[in-house]
Amino acid sequence: MLTGIAITSIVVCFVLFIILFIWLYAIAEKQEEKNKKSKESHRRIAEMLGAIIDSPTNTSQSDEIYVLSSFIDKDKHERIDILSNILIEGLLTDAEDERGRKALFMVFELLKPQLHYSKMLRKGTANEKAYACKMLSAFYQVNEIPEIRKYIFDKNKELSYNASLAISILGDEDCLVKLIDSYKTNYDYSHRIILELFRIYSGDIRLLAIRCLENSNNYIKASIFKAVAKYKIVEFEIHYLYGAQDRDPNIRVASIKALCEIGNPKYEQTLINAAQDTMWYVRSTAVKGLGKINTVNSRRALLDAVRDNEWWVRYNAAHTLVSMDGGLEMAEKVIGGYDKFAADAVKFALYKTYNI
Amino acid sequence: MGILRSIVFYFNIFCMLYTLALSFVYIIQIVISYFVIRQNNEKKIAKDHKHYINSDNLLPISIIVPAFNEEENIIENIYWMLNIEYPEHEVIIINDGSTDNTHSKIVAGYKLKQINPPIKISLKTKQIRAVYFNPQYPNLIYVDKEPGGKSDALNTGINISKYPLFVCLDADSMIERDAILKISTEFLKDTKTVVAGGFVRIANGSVIENGKWKRFKMPNLTIERFQIIEYFRAFLSGRVSWNSTNSLLIVSGAFGVFNKSIVIEAGGYKTDTIGEDMEIIVTLHQYLRNKKRKYTIKFIEDAVCWTQGPMSVHDIRTQRRRWQIGLMDSLLHHKSMVLNPKYGSVGLLSLPYAWIFEFFGALVEGFGYFVIPLAFLFNELSLFFFLLYLAVSTLLGILISLGGLILEQNTNRGAMTVKQCMQLTPYAMLENFGYRQFITLCRVEGILRYHGLKSTWSKVKREPFNQ
């Protein structure tokens, strides 16, 4: 009995070994074949696009596009993807090859690769839909917004994430407001995703920010302030001023950051107050702005900040000091002063900035 | 004599059952990993790390590179680290009292000058001798410190670093240019992520140009080929499967990305261990579960770091001994977590597994090599069963090694040609005849010399990467 079991187990192991070996060979071969095919398709498509761009006449260009179309139709799923990526890269590039761009645009108009992704968005798996969102937004297919909207709250994270980015690229304000509002209670994503949604938004950032602020909580408010700081939106300045005195340190940091970007001397006192905040990260943000406004009082506050107890504040203050107009004379005073830590911070800043 | 015979007999039975159980666990891991990798492959098209190349919204990252006697590759490796695809990063090289020319090579190679930067001491470390910098390389900081071991060097790097995420990277490893980009997007999409580790692949033989893997070439030495198979098995089967239950016990010391504030909260790297990579992960599990915080520790098989496997028997012995000591150290230090429901899947699954199969496994297998032939000599085991046991255990070993190769092909990376894959297959079989036994004995040696070897860097000789 035992012998029988033992021999059977050896036979089973051996059979399994043979199966695994054949399986391994099959996967490896499939993999190699796929790689070769993909490389070859890539090469051929690039070649054909080159021929289209270099075609001397419209007729010959149309002929070349027809050849490309037939080539793609033979293995549409893979080849249309290769073509799309080349087109996106070529159409979005800043190169001044106007002729090339026109030719690529013509290929896009005639072959309509976006239809492939449109179909994928409706009939694909969740991951394919996510990919379709990405490609359709890259092709700026605004007409697909209603379909993409369906997925922004999908339970598949990749799909909802890609759909969110897509609606931002396509500039769907209503949907984006709704989405950002949902982040009030959903902390799965980092607040940096909100910043990213603003960065890639193709619509009016100011309007979007105003609408998002309407029902926001502190978390969203701070994220929006950070996201729009670089746009220096005038009507937000009042929000920033109130924010600089908020009890929530995150709001204070975001507001101070935005006021620093604006760099208007009329906010001198607010920044000086922030440079004396109880939280070190508020102080370290404020000192950057003090250099920008560069008033007598701000310089004095900056000199105090170089002697801060927190190293990061000293570090930021020293960098600001040596980079601002007239800062080098002040830096000299700090180096010759009694505070060793302040002097070290300034020396380090001088070396990093001027190699001295 | 009768008692000895009985011991030999029962140990014999125990060894056989243990081997079967271990193989069974490995096979389950391979099956789980197979499906997880397939699922991850499907997700790949939806991933968009490249979207962030030009974005300023990625978390900035500090690359911390502890170095001890790394004169061979260090200049070149720093260059690749400075040129990775990542919007905002700094590279911090920590020279932990090297006795070769590492220090002078780095200072001369990058024309560094001593500076006196402000340092926030969040973790206690050995004294820093000097910090060097060159404004021409604004992302590079070089720190020369008193020797204190790799953990101490990493803690120093954490103190010096200014960004919220840090990567610990071995000085003799080379990360693929987009590897950190791939990993750090995980921190954006899932705020619970505290650590994410990448796949460490054996670079021996492979051609790497400008920090980018170009093609696989079969390495010359048999020992290198065995290690390729081993790494496929360890990373693609072990790490992938444990990752699916958030109970990874190790993120390779060669390449892992950490949330700095959490590591500091947890007390940083423990300095009296040489297995700092496992120790920090188990410490984080313990700390975060004690605090009842939601977190994930991830393994991203798509983010690749290349490392050179040892090329001599001496070096591999040193390496494996060190790994075993590190494992033993962490297991002993965190023994209170084992079978403790408070620690969830870590306490109930991965730690008991590590005790039973990783720690005792080496002992059982090691003693088995002596006791089973002894049983055969004492006539407690018939020749038939002796050969049967050998055949079953070897065949299972081969199946598991082949499983590792299948998993590698399943990643769709297309690294090897069919010919190369078939060339490696015999090594999946051959490693069960001698190599595996040698590795087991190195591990047993590690356990036996635990106290003596506990606090050494144990350098392994490396050669420049194939360019």
Q: Which of residues 116-175 of B touch A (CB under 8 A)?
A: 116-120, 133, 135, 138, 162
What are the backbone angles phi and psi of residue B170, rounded to the nearest 5°?
A: -75, 145
pLDDT band at A18 (very low <50, low <70, confident <90, very high): confident
Of the listed ranges A225-229, B34-38, B456-460, the one predicted with least confidence: B456-460
Give yes or no for residue B378 having a pLDDT over 80: no
Q: Does B452 touch chain A (CB under 8 A)?
A: no
**Partners of residue B93 on adjacent β-strands:** B65, B142
Nearest CA to CA, how far is A298 from chain B (Å)? 23
In terms of pLDDT, which residue wins out, B293 or A91? B293
Mean pLDDT throughout A39-60? Answer: 88
As a dihedral over the C-alpha atoms of residue B447, residue B453, residue B456, residue B457, rounded to 10 degrees, the angle is: -40
Q: How far, in Å, CA of B229 to CA of B392, rounded?
A: 20
Token duo for residue A49: 């696009």
Q: Does A154 touch chain B (CB under 8 A)?
A: no
Alpha helices in chain A (DSSP H): 2-54, 58-74, 76-92, 98-111, 113-123, 126-138, 145-149, 157-169, 173-182, 191-200, 205-214, 218-228, 237-243, 249-262, 268-274, 280-293, 296-305, 311-323, 327-335, 340-354
User: Which of B243, B192, B193 is closest to B35 using CA atoms?
Assistant: B243
What confidence score (pLDDT) does residue A61 get? 85
Question: In whole numbers, what is the pLDDT of chain A averaged over residues?
Answer: 88
Instruction: Compute CA B267 distance to the chain's CA centroid, rounded to the nearest angstrom.
Output: 21
With beta carbons under 8 A apart, name residues in chain B contacting A136: none
State whether A125 and B133 contact (CB < 8 Å): no
What confidence score (pLDDT) does residue A331 get? 83
What confidence score (pLDDT) does residue A93 get? 67
Q: What percent of chain B has pLDDT over 70?
A: 96
pLDDT tens, position by position, B75-98: 888 888 888 888 889 999 999 989
Q: Which of residues 53-112 of B touch A (CB under 8 A)?
A: 55-59
Give yes or no for residue A92 having a pLDDT over 80: no
pLDDT tens, position by position, A239-269: 999 999 899 999 999 999 999 888 888 888 9
Mean pLDDT throughout B342-363? Answer: 92
Of the listed ranges A99-103, B254-258, B412-416, the one predicted with least confidence: B412-416
Mean pLDDT throughout B281-288? Answer: 95
With beta carbons under 8 A apart, name residues in chain B contacting A7: 388
User: CB-CB: which of A6, A9, A311 is closest to B118?
Assistant: A311
pTM of the model: 0.89
Please report how many Cα atoms fall inside a 13 Å half-sphere around the Cα of residue B37, on the Cβ side: 27
Highest mean pLDDT, choosing among A289-298, A331-340, B440-449: B440-449
Three-class secondary structure of residue A143 per DSSP: helix
Q: What percent of chain B has pLDDT over 90?
A: 39
With beta carbons under 8 A apart, name residues in chain A contacting B113: 351
pLDDT band at A96 (very low <50, low <70, confident <90, very high): low
In terms of pLDDT, which residue wins out, A213 or A294? A213
In terms of pLDDT, which residue wins out, B375 or A242? A242
What confidence score (pLDDT) does residue B342 get? 93
State whether A34 and B409 contact (CB < 8 Å): no
Give yes or no for residue A78 having a pLDDT over 70: yes
User: CB-CB: which of A13, A199, A344 is closest to B396?
Assistant: A13
What confidence score (pLDDT) does residue A146 get? 95
What confidence score (pLDDT) does residue B467 get? 46
Are the C-beta atoms of residues B194 and B258 closer than 8 Å to each other?
Answer: yes
Please report how many Cα atoms fall inside a 13 Å half-sphere around the Cα of residue B400, on the Cβ side: 25
- The span from the first CA to the last CA of chain A, in angstroms, equals 86
Q: Which of residues 168-207 of B touch A (CB under 8 A)?
A: 187-192
Give yes or no for residue A174 having a pLDDT over 70: yes
Of the listed ranges A92-101, A327-336, B446-455, the one predicted with least confidence: A92-101
State whether B418 and A24 contact (CB < 8 Å): no
Q: Does A36 touch chain B (CB under 8 A)?
A: no
pLDDT band at B340 (very low <50, low <70, confident <90, very high): very high
User: CB-CB: which of B46, B59, B138 is closest to A130?
Assistant: B46
